[in-house]
Structure 1
Amino acid sequence: MTTRQPAVLDSPEARYRMLRLIRGFEETALGLVKSGVITGGIHPYIGQEAVAVGVCAALGPQDRITSTHRGHGHVLAKGADPRRLLAELAGRVDGLNQGRGGSMHAADLSLGILGANGIVGAGAPIAVGAAWASQQAGDGRVAVTFFGDGALNQGVLLEALNLAAMWRLPVLFVCENNGYATTLPAATAVAGSALGRAAAFGIPAVEVDGMDTEAVRAAADEAAGRARAGGGPGFLECRTYRFEGHHTMERRMKLNYRSAEEIESWRARDPLSRAGAALDPGRRAEIDAGVDAELAEAERFALASGHPDPAGACEHLYADGLRPRAGAVA
């Protein structure tokens, strides 16, 4: 399989196309969850696309990211092949990780995607480690870690912030504050604020409209540039909103923790509609058609890929293969 080139998000058209690709990808994945092709469900990224696209537009192909359980948008915006990502969600051998990572653990090291992570806040120390390695190598790379407001009370995030500040590492912390940790309103669970967390460690932090791709890009560009120049870590709090439930299981559970009025008020700020409105209608239609064709091909590719052989379940657990303990029964 050919190596995919990193995403280039250097124009409004390119950024709109990526927004549209992420939105369509998630809608396709939702359909495959409903049909049973994707088992276990997913955490949809619909509504939050501006954060992934805006941040990744400020990165180069050499930079690295860590993602979350709601990570498809980050992975695509960094340049992952939507065919292979969809195959990964479906547990197929042609997936990014041969069907072994699934929705919450997709990675592509060749593109600087160090992996999504099902543990809340767990991507932060990985990104800090990558940033430390870059600092030691002097290679000019920046690392970015995405996390939600639910991670603000996790000790591992605070430890990562501390190390990044102490060692002035080139890492950008991006908090996607969508207002809810699963169904728990952040306002009832977070003492202080996201920006206050960063300020406690002396890390420059800004709040940005996470529904505005260009606003996110501008803030990320400034923070990444400062980090790349040796100015240490930065922190963005992107105020955003997920239009779908925390997880696809919500559709069955019929949870009622958000009002229809609240959801519609945020839908009025849809980042896809906002970015599309700035384009020529004809050009926007061309981009939409191209994305639809790409997603149709991604679905065909994923469905044509086979399932992993259960006999190989113990492969890839260690870098040099599975090694039984001494004295273990063969």
Structure 2
Amino acid sequence: MTQTLSSLGSDAPDATGLSESQLLDAYRTMRTIRAFEDRVHDEFASGDIPGFVHLYAGEEASATGVCAHLAPGRDTIASTHRGHGHCIAKGVDVKPMMAEIFGKKTGSCRGKGGSMHIADLSKGMLGANGIVGGGPPLICGTALAAKLTGDGGVGVAFFGDGASNQGTTLEAMNLASVWNLPAIFVAENNGYAEATSSTWSVSADNIADRAAGFGMPGVIVDGFDFFAVYEAAGEAIARAREGGGPTLIEVKFTRYYGHFEGDQQTYRARDEVANAKANLDCLTRFRRRVTESGRLTNAQLDQADAEIAQLIDESVDEAKAAPVPTAEDVLTDVYVKY
């Protein structure tokens, strides 16, 4: 699935159709996710963040490669409990996100959702979800709405290898095929459903192999390669917009942190994460590819790194200074207003 960058001029698209500015945007998105997650990891260890957090570091190419094809309002995504990366890739503002994780009133959900239920409907981000397999049925609803209105929108469900065994996920894929919905199912296989290896818990060799049972295409993608994800997602989303129906994409990679913060990770090989960071990291591979091809320079990427680091610092400072919800806030946001 991976394509090779061309040696065209700085304003011309590469082999995936991405211009210089689009490549820089993709890098900035992945770097923002990584910096956000690394900082949340550190802040959680200090005891300032309430509740649980599940970090997306190492998986950035998946959310970024898929969401690069999506429009802010028309297209929708449903996430997992590991939802920060999906939020950022879908365009949710980082500062309200950080405030939400700190449980503050200025958060994207006014401090009521926290990490595991973070959302921003204005961006088409239906929310992270504490229910394993909770997202696929939701995007069947938004995909059906898009089909009925004819607005060209698509619904994308991100789910993990654990959720691939849930009835909700399988039923949603079947429904999407029966109704020929513009729906994309992205199985993010990071190797473990909490602490259970997918090689033990998933009966098929690949989650994508199950697509045939629902009459839809199944694609396996190297999740450490942004360009491979971008290409596969682009084909599936274009097909869905044109009335071709759903697709199942399996993205394979490794998460850098445990299932949750505090996970001792005794189920993993000792050198598993270190090897992934040294030899497979999506940011390193992206940087090498675009600089060696002359599409972007190290100076451009270094500047992006510095700007993002400053943004994350500001986000944390503002979140810590923000007010917490009050007793009067408890009864707000209970009912939807039409």
Normalising by structure 2, what TM-score? Answer: 0.89
- Provide the C-alpha distance between the structure 1 equivalents of 2:77 and 2:140, rounded to a whole number of angstroms: 10
Counterpart residue number, 2:58: 47
Write the letter of the residue equivalent to 1:49.
Answer: E
Secondary structure of residue in 2 paired with 1:104: helix
How many angstroms does 1:32 deviate by? 1.6
Counterpart residue number, 1:5: none
Counterpart residue number, 1:93: 105
Segment of structure 1 superposing worse, 13-22 or 31-40? 31-40
- Provide the C-alpha distance between the structure 1 equivalents of 2:210 and 2:334, rounded to a whole number of angstroms: 36
8 Å contact from structure 1 (residues 65, 143) kept in 2: yes
Superposition map of 1:164-175 within 5 A: 164-175=176-187
Counterpart residue number, 1:284: 301
Gaps of 5+ in 2: 1-18, 292-296
Counterpart residue number, 1:244: 257
Segment of structure 1 superposing worse, 295-304 or 19-28? 295-304
8 Å contact from structure 1 (residues 12, 275) kept in 2: no
CA gap of 1:9–1:35, structure 2 versus 1, over 3 A, is farther
Counterpart residue number, 1:302: 319
8 Å contact from structure 1 (residues 46, 242) kept in 2: yes
2:326 is the counterpart of 1:313: no
2:256 is the counterpart of 1:256: no
How many angstroms does 1:16 deviate by? 0.7
- Which of 268, 281, 305 aligns to 1:270? It is 281
Secondary structure of residue in 1 paired with 2:162: helix
Secondary structure of residue in 1 paired with 2:283: helix
Counterpart residue number, 2:35: 24
How many angstroms does 1:312 deviate by? 2.8
2:314 is the counterpart of 1:293: no
Secondary structure of residue in 1 paired with 2:184: strand
- Provide the C-alpha distance between the structure 1 equivalents of 2:41 and 2:68, rounded to a whole number of angstroms: 26
8 Å contact from structure 1 (residues 10, 57) kept in 2: no
Gaps of 5+ in 1: 1-7, 322-330
Write the letter of the residue equivalent to 2:308.
Answer: V
Superposition map of 1:1-330 within 5 A: 11-61=22-72, 62-192=74-204, 193-250=206-263, 254-267=264-277, 268-277=279-288, 278-279=290-291, 280-319=297-336
How many angstroms does 1:237 deviate by? 0.2
Secondary structure of residue in 2 paired with 1:135: helix
8 Å contact from structure 2 (residues 154, 241) kept in 1: yes
8 Å contact from structure 2 (residues 210, 218) kept in 1: no
8 Å contact from structure 1 (residues 9, 56) kept in 2: no
Secondary structure of residue in 2 paired with 1:146: strand
Matched residue pairs, number? 311
8 Å contact from structure 2 (residues 52, 116) kept in 1: no
- Provide the C-alpha distance between the structure 1 equivalents of 2:37 and 2:112, rounded to a whole number of angstroms: 20
Secondary structure of residue in 2 paired with 1:99: coil
- Provide the C-alpha distance between the structure 1 equivalents of 2:327 and 2:65, rounded to a whole number of angstroms: 40
Counterpart residue number, 2:11: none
8 Å contact from structure 2 (residues 31, 305) kept in 1: yes
